[in-house]
């Protein structure tokens, strides 16, 4: 945050502030590197994982890239300044300011100082009539940094207060956004059912929660990645037959679908006589509405799903078998495309209006 300062003539005793060193400097730069990595990761992550926005989001790439670039410039500035000012200090008295670095000490009389400027790079610029001197304010311990600034009078306290409020607001919004997107991506997300493909288990207008912990987190396809990364070993269990899952199908990358898992890797899957057979045995499917046909749409032989389900893939179908665009249309579904498992129905407007709560609760 930019702040303009000046001497107010109230300095009663000399104050000396020394640049961080040893373990404190190591901790400072490790923290800076951590923040830089966090900036870059957050920009790449939010751009591809933010909900209700077409991803990847170019504006978020731009904003995140600008913030990361600014922080990188600040990190480089602090590194260069540390090399120059290592072991250095700043001494403030009622008559002068003395800045010491590796080349020696320079004393600036108060009469020669026009004003002081705290800039975005973390430097304290001492503006003189015909010169200027930069001191790395960011390389002081936090408490000493605040103490040094408090020695001077703010030339525009109202503007500084406004800047601080804006910064605090933006900081809170960004932190909340990053946390919210991570929760939605890795923990829980609300969904709305717009079609009847899962009737009568799920109906049009149903609102439900989908949890994303059971199968393990899926890192979205960020820049420089070829596909999403499924960390299955961090999950509670593998996907099972009968699980109702949310996923992004291969033929429609902009929409989420909800279907039931019918066959898992290694299953011998067949459809005949209007029923599903797994490993030669007809499945009991009390949730099914209508007959199960081989294809509901014009068949694409490259998407044939009869036979052994390959590793890393599953077969998914809607419960409303005569009105569902599912694996019979787009083929096997890659497990890494699954976002989570439907587990709780919490709202349906038409039922709420009739005080009907019979369907609300865990989804099975």
Which CATH number fits the domain 184-362, given the four candidates 2.10.109.10, 3.30.565.10, 3.20.20.70, 2.40.30.10?
Answer: 2.10.109.10
Active site residue 350: no
Active site residue 197: yes
Alpha helices of the chain — where are they, by DSSP H?
Answer: 23-49, 58-85, 142-150, 157-186, 327-330, 349-353
Which member of 81, 259, 313, 341 is catalytic?
259
Domain ranges in the chain are 3-175, 184-362
Per the CB < 8 A criterion, the answer to whether 313 and 265 are in contact is: yes
Which member of 42, 197, 324, 327 is catalytic?
197
Q: What Rg value do the Cα atoms of the chain yield, rounded?
A: 31
Stated as kind and residue range, the H or E segment containing 6 is: strand 3-6
pLDDT at site 51: 82
Per the CB < 8 A criterion, the answer to whether 209 and 346 are in contact is: yes
pLDDT at site 100: 95
Output the CA angle 282-285-289, nearest 5 degrees. 120
| Distances, alpha carbon 41 to alpha carbons 32, 46, 47, 69, 178, in Å | 14, 8, 10, 13, 10
pLDDT at site 298: 46
Alpha-carbon torsion 332, 335, 337, 341, what sign?
Answer: positive
pLDDT-flagged residues of the chain (< 70): 295-303
* pTM recorded for the entire structure: 0.81
Pairing mode, if any, of strands 275-278 and 268-272? Answer: antiparallel
| Distances, alpha carbon 185 to alpha carbons 215, 312, 335, in Å | 13, 21, 16
């Amino acid at each position: 945050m930019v702040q303009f300062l000046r001497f107010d003539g109230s300095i009663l005793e000399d104050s000396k502030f020394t640049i961080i060193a040893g373990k404190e400097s190591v901790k400072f730069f490790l923290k800076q590197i951590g923040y830089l990595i966090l900036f870059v990761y957050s920009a790449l992550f939010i751009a591809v994982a933010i909900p209700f926005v077409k991803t990847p989001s170019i504006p978020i790439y731009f904003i995140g890239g600008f913030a990361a670039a600014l922080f990188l410039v600040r990190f480089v500035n602090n590194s260069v300044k540390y090399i120059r000012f290592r072991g250095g200090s700043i001494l403030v008295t009622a008559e002068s300011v003395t800045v010491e670095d590796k080349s020696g000490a320079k004393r600036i009389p108060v009469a020669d100082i026009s004003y002081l400027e705290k800039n975005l790079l973390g430097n304290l610029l001492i503006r003189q009539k015909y010169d200027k001197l930069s001191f790395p304010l960011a390389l002081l311990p936090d408490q000493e940094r605040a103490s040094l600034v408090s020695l001077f009078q703010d030339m525009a306290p109202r503007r500084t207060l406004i800047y601080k409020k804006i910064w605090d607001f933006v900081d809170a919004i960004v932190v909340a956004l990053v946390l919210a997107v991570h929760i939605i991506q890795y923990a829980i997300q609300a969904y709305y059912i717009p079609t009847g493909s899962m009737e009568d288990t799920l109906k049009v207008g149903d609102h439900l929660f989908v949890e994303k912990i059971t199968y393990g987190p899926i890192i979205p396809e960020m820049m420089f990645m070829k596909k999403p990364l499924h960390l299955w070993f961090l999950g509670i269990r593998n996907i099972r037959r009968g699980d109702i899952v949310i996923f992004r199908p291969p033929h429609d990358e902009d929409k989420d679908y909800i279907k039931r898992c019918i066959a898992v890797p290694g299953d011998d899957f067949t459809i005949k006589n209007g029923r599903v057979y797994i490993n030669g045995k007809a499945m009991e499917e009390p949730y099914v509405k209508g007959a199960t046909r081989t294809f509901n749409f014009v068949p694409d032989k490259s998407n044939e799903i009869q036979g052994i389900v390959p590793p890393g893939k599953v077969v998914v179908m809607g419960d409303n078998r005569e009105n569902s665009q599912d694996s019979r249309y787009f083929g096997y579904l890659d497990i890494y495309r699954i976002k989570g498992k439907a587990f709780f129905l919490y709202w349906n407007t038409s039922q709420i209006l009739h005080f009907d709560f019979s369907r609300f609760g865990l989804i099975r």
